[in-house]
């Protein structure tokens, strides 16, 4: 499957990004940052893994990929500024679980040794799993979150289930960051900053050549 073709038509999903003034400021900041970027939320190894994963989800073709669009930098700032402490804890636990499972499966000892092939294998394992497996992971994660709410500290960490949840969330956040990126919105998607005639129930192929609207 060509992932980039899917991105042009896929919906927002559960990780949709709300465009508040703070978020718009983050977009502008990411476009002007120098190459000497220091993550504010992720640590160095985590940011490297997240960047690789986002580039695998949105690879560079004739269109810039996640890294050139600085989507990892945006996501780091977005989580740091917008996410609640509960959401931060959840995504951190999911990321660490994802890394631990990746290290175990690849028989490596350090996150900086994980290759694109190692991480692509993990994405495929979670995102292409059958319905039964995904449903099992969802139930395990839900049970774990309920146990945390009940302050049951003895609950075993369901690493694969949490890694699956993280992979799902990262895909959704990557896609919405891609769709709301200034370059993508103005140059790749259908863009009309000055509204014109409104027509309902029309074929998207006739109006935009099949492209979704950026606005």
Going by pLDDT thresholds of 50, 70 and 90, the confidence category of residue 151 is confident
Percent of the chain whose predicted confidence (pLDDT) is above 70? 67
Q: What is the pLDDT of residue 198?
A: 59
Q: What is the pLDDT of residue 10?
A: 37
Q: What is the pLDDT of residue 29?
A: 57
Q: Report the range out of 77-91, 110-124, 139-153 with the highest average pLDDT.
A: 110-124
Structure-block tokens of residue 106:
């690849």
Structure-block tokens of residue 37:
């970027």
Give the model confidence (pLDDT) of 45-98 as tens digits. 999 999 999 999 999 888 888 999 899 998 998 899 888 999 999 999 999 999
Going by pLDDT thresholds of 50, 70 and 90, the confidence category of residue 129 is very high
Better-predicted residue by pLDDT, 153 or 53:
53
Cα–Cα distance between 53 and 62 in angstroms, integer?
A: 19
Structure-block tokens of residue 185:
């919105």
Eight-state DSSP code of residue 17: P
Compute the half-sphere exposure of residue 108: CA atoms within 13 Å on the CB side of its CA: 15
Compute the half-sphere exposure of residue 12: CA atoms within 13 Å on the CB side of its CA: 8
Give the model confidence (pLDDT) of 10-21 as tens digits. 333 334 555 555
The arithmetic mean of pLDDT across residues 153-158, rounded, is: 79
Q: What is the pLDDT of residue 115?
A: 95
Question: What burial letters (b/e) apply to 151-170, b meaning 16+ CB within 10 Å?
Answer: eeeeeeebbbbbbbbbbbbb
Eight-state DSSP code of residue 115: -
| Domain boundaries of the chain, sorted by first residue | 3-180
Mean pLDDT, the chain, rounded, equals: 79
């Amino acid at each position: 499957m060509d992932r980039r073709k899917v991105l042009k038509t896929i919906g927002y999903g559960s990780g949709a990004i709300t465009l508040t003034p703070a978020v718009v400021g983050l977009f502008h900041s990411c476009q002007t940052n120098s190459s000497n970027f220091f993550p504010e939320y992720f640590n160095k190894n985590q940011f490297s893994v997240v960047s690789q994963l986002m580039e695998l989800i949105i690879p560079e073709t004739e269109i810039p990929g996640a890294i050139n669009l600085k989507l990892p930098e945006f996501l780091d700032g977005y989580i740091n500024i917008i996410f609640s402490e509960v959401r931060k804890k959840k995504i951190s636990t999911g990321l660490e679980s994802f890394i631990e499972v990746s290290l175990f499966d690849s028989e490596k000892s350090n996150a900086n040794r994980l290759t694109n092939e190692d991480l692509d294998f993990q994405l495929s394992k979670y995102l292409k799993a059958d319905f039964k497996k995904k449903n099992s992971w969802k139930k395990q994660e839900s049970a774990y979150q309920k146990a945390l709410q009940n302050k049951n500290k003895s609950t075993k960490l369901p690493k694969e289930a949490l890694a699956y949840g993280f992979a799902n969330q990262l895909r959704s956040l990557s896609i919405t960051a891609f769709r709301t990126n200034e370059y993508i919105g103005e140059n790749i998607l259908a863009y009309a900053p000055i509204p014109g005639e409104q027509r309902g129930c029309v074929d998207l192929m006739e109006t935009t050549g099949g492209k979704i609207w950026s606005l």
